């Protein structure tokens, strides 16, 4: 029995290829069925925007190659030979552990992938393609990932500029009870709004060059107040914080157009800049822009990388324990056969002695217990030796000897 993996991800395949190799529900079902046809009865599909990967348990070397062939045939319109990567054994186990912990993610240490691994295993189990071995390996990877996230808190070092920017606002002036103007209605502005609403803000006003687009934000943020783009300077006079996140090639807040009469904090999330940098010289103005934020993001990235290195001990230990379990589990059927043989001998011996000797209920229980303990003692050392066997070749030799000696 061996654990294997084939797949593509953002590291080895461009987006154009990944878009064409996504596993729909229909393709998952088709893959499971074809894998079963070649004798691979335990498999899992992990399909996200950044990866399309299959994990499985196989018995014969040729099955590992056949899974690669099936994968390619699932996407006949794409030439995958130069993109598809495969692993097996300990390397495949270690890779899955890193995946679950977010250490192979585009955003290092992100949390979302752990839920996606859980969901992939649930799908495999629901469709009847997850057995003892696959469950054990994936569950061990999930458990190890949770330990790493709990002990090292890698994901708590934010890498989103929007998140870092709003956190910086909270640090500089506090957000609760403030009136905030958000200029823009694109993805960055939406993210900023989400983070702003995590605080008890007094009022949030939004303006955008495209008023119709800004109106759509009310579906997600019903409490926002909309104003026209032309009114932005007038509205700023009553705001404590101004967040700008447009795609404009020009400045949208110019110093000659706005003279602050009270303290105001500008957060510029745009590139190129939205807010005139000369505001930084104003006594009543605090200006935060991408120059400051990107340095924080870089520092957080370096800190994440440091924490990843420190967490590798947990990862290595987890992989080692799972690998040992997988190795020993190859002999489970042999050990089970020995136990069954032992039970048959106990019952045969008990039945013979019970016919020859008149025993009460208490004596019968005691006799069966003694017979079973005696045979288990005899088997203890052979079973320990089976578990200590160092290579697959040794396991196979021991298996043959036991089958011949015990006629199983």
Strand locations in 131-235 (E):
179-183, 203-208, 225-228
The 3-state secondary structure of 311-334 reads HHHHHHHHHHHHHHHHHHHCCHHH
Q: Which residues is 55 bridged to in the sheet?
A: 5, 44
Rg of the chain over all Cα atoms, to the nearest angstrom: 31
Nearest to 331 by CA among 283, 272, 387: 387
Token pair of 371 as six digits: 């017979």
- Please give the DSSP secondary-structure letter assigned to residue 275: B
Exposed / middle / buried, residue 187 (Cβ in 10 Å: 0-12, 13-18, 19+): exposed
* Cα separation values, 340 from 285, 323, 353, 395, Å: 81, 26, 20, 20
DSSP letters of 212-271? HHHHHGGGT-TT-EEEEGGGHHHHHTT-SEEEE----SS-SB-GGG---SS-EEEEE--S
Q: What are the catalytic residues?
A: 49
Three-state SS for 7? Answer: strand
Asked if omega into 272 is within 30° of 0 (cis), the reply is yes
Q: How far apart are the first and last CA of the chain?
A: 20
Dist CA 168 CA 301 (whole Å): 17
């Amino acid at each position: 029995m061996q654990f294997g993996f084939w797949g593509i991800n953002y590291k080895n395949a461009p987006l154009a290829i990944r878009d064409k190799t996504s596993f729909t529900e229909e393709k998952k079902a088709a893959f499971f069925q074809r894998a079963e046809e070649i004798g691979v009865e335990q498999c899992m599909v992990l399909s996200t925007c950044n990866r399309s990967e299959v994990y499985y348990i196989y018995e014969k070397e040729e099955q590992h190659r056949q899974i690669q062939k099936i994968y390619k045939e699932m996407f006949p319109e794409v030439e995958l030979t130069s993109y598809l990567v495969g692993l097996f054994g300990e390397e495949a186990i270690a890779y899955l552990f890193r995946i679950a912990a977010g250490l192979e993610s585009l955003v290092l240490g992100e949390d979302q992938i752990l839920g996606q691994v859980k969901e992939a295993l649930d799908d495999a189990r629901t469709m009847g393609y997850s057995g003892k071995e696959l469950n054990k390996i994936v569950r061990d990877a999930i458990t190890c990932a949770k330990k790493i996230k709990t002990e090292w808190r890698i994901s708590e070092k934010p890498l989103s500029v929007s998140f870092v920017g709003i956190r910086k606002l909270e640090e500089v002036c506090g957000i609760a009870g403030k009136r905030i103007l958000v200029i823009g209605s694109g993805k960055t502005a939406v993210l900023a709004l989400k983070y702003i609403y995590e605080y008890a803000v007094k009022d949030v006003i939004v303006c955008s060059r495209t008023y119709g687009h800004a109106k759509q934000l009310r579906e997600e943020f019903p409490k926002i107040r909309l104003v026209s783009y032309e009114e932005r300077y007038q509205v700023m006079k009553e705001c404590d914080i101004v967040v700008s996140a447009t795609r404009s090639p020009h400045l949208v807040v110019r110093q000659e157009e706005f003279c602050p009469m009270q303290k105001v904090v500008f957060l510029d999330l745009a590139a190129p800049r939205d807010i005139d940098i000369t505001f930084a010289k104003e006594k009543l103005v605090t200006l935060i822009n991408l120059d400051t934020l990107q340095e924080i993001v870089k520092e957080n990235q370096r800190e994440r990388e440091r924490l990843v290195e420190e967490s590798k001990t947990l990862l290595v230990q987890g992989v080692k324990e799972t690998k040992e379990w997988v190795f020993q589990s190859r002999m489970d059927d042999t050990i089970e056969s020995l136990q069954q043989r032992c039970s048959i001998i106990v019952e045969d011996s008990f039945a013979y002695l019970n016919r020859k000797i008149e025993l009460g209920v208490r004596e019968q229980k005691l006799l069966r217990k003694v017979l079973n303990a005696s045979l288990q003692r005899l088997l203890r050392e052979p079973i320990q030796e089976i578990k200590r066997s160092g290579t697959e070749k040794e396991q196979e030799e021991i298996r043959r000897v036991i089958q011949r000696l015990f006629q199983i």
